[in-house]
Structure 1
């Protein structure tokens, strides 16, 4: 099926996603493209990065052929735009830091296509160097805070939910058997302390927990050496006043950036829905784009003012404010049934706003 431009529909989707990524980050990566297309769920991608899957294609919600076609469309688009190809490494978050594979058959041409990032010529040499360094850096080791009871594969001791485990070669190990028993847990919340403690510690690991409500893994903190943590605490005490002043300036700058972003989002809403009242558009933008909210406005597509992301923000507002959706949920109506009941109400409001 061809799109409005005469291109195949998939090709147009790839080009649109590529434009948004280039505008946002000044570079394109095949793995990020697959995520933007909705084919690579975050949790499956995380399993792959932790070495739990043999190849990326096992994490995809489409067949390998379709993914390869999308990556080929990306290459052709990038070459037309005269972007610079940069080969990067993908290493697993395992002790041996083994290279991650993208395809089960491991064909070199396909592997190279997935490893290649496409960089804007506008990117400075220093920024390009930083990008390549970051992409080639081995990922952090990951320790899990599980939701259920579990038993160590080596010592067979049973542990309660929340007690940390390390997954290695498909086995769950307690911290002692994983040789992490001497490390101490530093909860998230103090970025400077965490950064310095990790830098000081010869061995460290990030502690993650899966949030079922948000359907994503969240960082709880890090495991570091006790002496490394002590040194980091002393460093933080030494420059606490300076960092406090920096935090104030950063907060002011972020607040200003949010206002600019929310104004741009409100303008995009009014562009897509000319009949939407200006104060309503501003309210939708403020709600959807609130920093730290996890709402669609804070997603990568939302920050790029992608039309679909903006439409989702508008639909969400109409659903909760202009229909009896919330009342239906409180009356124990299943979510999917409730959404089906108010679908016509949403369409009616959006059609009116669209003029």
Structure 2
């Protein structure tokens, strides 16, 4: 079928036109050349003359707008008869897909398939979330154990809290870095230092009072070192 040149200024179909039957959304008022009904929102061109969907034996099909690729593909798979709906874009000088016409029963079957897939995806997301939660719990436990190994004097509850905070998924904190995942001494120590800085020193109050970050860190460095030494030496004392 060739587009009616009266519908748009000297336009051609795209280099790779849609396969199957073509139905047009006209830009101007058009009436069916056979039954004279109109103006038509959708039409088929036969011998360069517009026909309504009923006269073209497509009136039993329903319109599915573009946007849901899976639903469109499955609807066409399920439908014995289907057509691609196009409209001319004057600015781009080309016809563009607007959707498809498919059998109503085919669309219903396609929707059921998509719903089944959506439920399967939901269940998979739940399973994945549970698996990630279990992995995160094991990692946080290992991180906590490494804190206690490096800083035996660190209270167990505090070590667990530091590990949970540092290893929170999606946080971007040190526990989620490559070094953190490898439980390197540097990464674990960084997490402990950050906790001590915020909870055991006036660091946060200094920041709130307008002290620059680097100066605030300098002022509380000795306090941080004192806590770390106490937590480290506690293990040495018990070993002796």
TM-score with structure 1 length normalisation? 0.34
Considering Cα pairs closer than 8 Å and 6+ residues apart, tell me whether 1 or 2 has the greater RCO.
2
Larger Cα-atom Rg: 2
Q: TM-score, normalised by structure 2?
A: 0.50
